[in-house]
Amino acid sequence: MKRFLKVFIGLALISNLGFAEVKLMKYENGSKEEVNYVKGKREGKYIEYYANGDVEKDTYEE
């Protein structure tokens, strides 16, 4: 049981270090966007699915 708690706490601490979180954003016009968030900011790659069926892949640049 102690080992399980150590592993669980370790994973919880690692998850707070800023790994990317992928969010799916939906827009009123029917488009969708998969966005990577790192520490609350958009970073890295994103995929945009347009309502007309087009798909666009790109990266955010600062």
Question: Which tokens belong to 1?
Answer: 């049981």
Q: Are 17 and 5 in contact (CB under 8 A)?
A: no
Which pLDDT value is given to residue 35?
A: 81
Residue pLDDT, tens place only, 9-59: 444 444 445 566 778 888 888 888 888 777 777 777 788 888 888 888 888
How far apart are the C-alpha atoms of 54 and 48, rounded to whole Å? 8
Written as one string, the DSSP assignment of 2-55 is HHHHHHHHHHHHHHTT---EEEEEE-TTS-EEEEEEETTEEEEEEEEE-TTS-E
Quote the pTM value: 0.52
